[in-house]
Amino acid sequence: MARTVDQERRAALLSAVADAFVAAGTDRASLRDLAPEVGASARMLMHHFGSRDELVAMALEVARDRQLAAAEQAIVPGPDAVAVLHATWGWFMRPDTRQYFALFTDVAARERGEPGPERRFTARLGADWQPIFEAVFGADERFARNSSTLALLVVGVLRGMALDLTSGSDTDDHRRAFATLIELIASGGSEE
């Protein structure tokens, strides 16, 4: 007879694994290495999640949900999309935010060699963020008509910068580049 799974304990373990991944990536995702860090045994993790792959996938979902919830609180559409973009850069560069981008940039890079159905996060990196920035541009009448295109542009630039920043590139150069992008968007929005 199979033991029942304590759902509260399972949720706590999942949260702890997500925390560990955000802090240090998925490199140490073996159950043996991960178990002591989250206050469990490898056997307990198997009991609660069935497999290492299932645990990793579920923990990444928790981290993704957290990141998107934080983004939705930090990137609030308003009548001035340019001001929202400036505030977005400040949020994007916070150490806690950058940890999430580093994690998901790493996951996406690893998934590139996998067949389509196994690519759980790569396609979502754009799809998750597109609606957030479409709402930002849609709320500003200067940009509403092109909200989808501008959102795609900003998401693409931020994805590229996230990849660059995980390799230790100069953040001042990135700040200047994003400020230039904002200026270009602003000047294009005023030309009718």
Give per-residue pLDDT as tens, 25-75: 877 667 888 888 888 888 888 888 888 888 888 899 999 999 999 999 999
Q: Kindly write down the DSSP assignment for every residue of 17-35, as one continuous string.
A: HHHHHHHH-STT-SHHHHH
Looking at every residue in the chain, the average pLDDT score rounds to 85
More confidently predicted of 18 and 113: 18
Rounded CA-CA distance 15/9 in Å is 10
Q: pLDDT confidence of 10, banded at 50, 70, 90?
A: confident
The predicted-structure confidence for 105-160, as pLDDT tens digits, reads as follows 778 777 777 665 556 676 676 688 899 999 999 999 999 999 999 999 999 898 88
pLDDT higher than threshold 60 for residue 191: no
Q: What is the pLDDT of residue 2?
A: 56
User: What's the CATH class of domain 1-66?
Assistant: mainly alpha
Q: What is the mean pLDDT of residues 8-23?
A: 90
Q: Kindly write down the DSSP assignment for every residue of 114-150, as one continuous string.
A: S-GGG-SSHHHHHHHHHHHHHHHHHTSTTTGGGHHHH
Contacts of 154 (CB under 8 A, 6+ apart): 85, 133, 181, 185
Q: What is the mean pLDDT of residues 79-98?
A: 92
Contacts of 168 (CB under 8 A, 6+ apart): none
More confidently predicted of 100 and 82: 82
The predicted-structure confidence for 62-79, as pLDDT tens digits, reads as follows 999 999 999 999 999 999
Q: What is the pLDDT of residue 1?
A: 46
**Intervals of CATH 1.10.10 along the chain:** 1-66
Tokens describing residue 157: 């630039």
pLDDT higher than threshold 60 for residue 163: yes
Nearest Cα residue to 84 out of 33, 42, 136: 136
Q: What is the pLDDT of residue 192?
A: 45
Q: What is the pLDDT of residue 122?
A: 67
For 5, which DSSP code? P
Q: What is the pLDDT of residue 48?
A: 86
- pTM (predicted TM-score): 0.83
Tokens describing residue 152: 């795609």
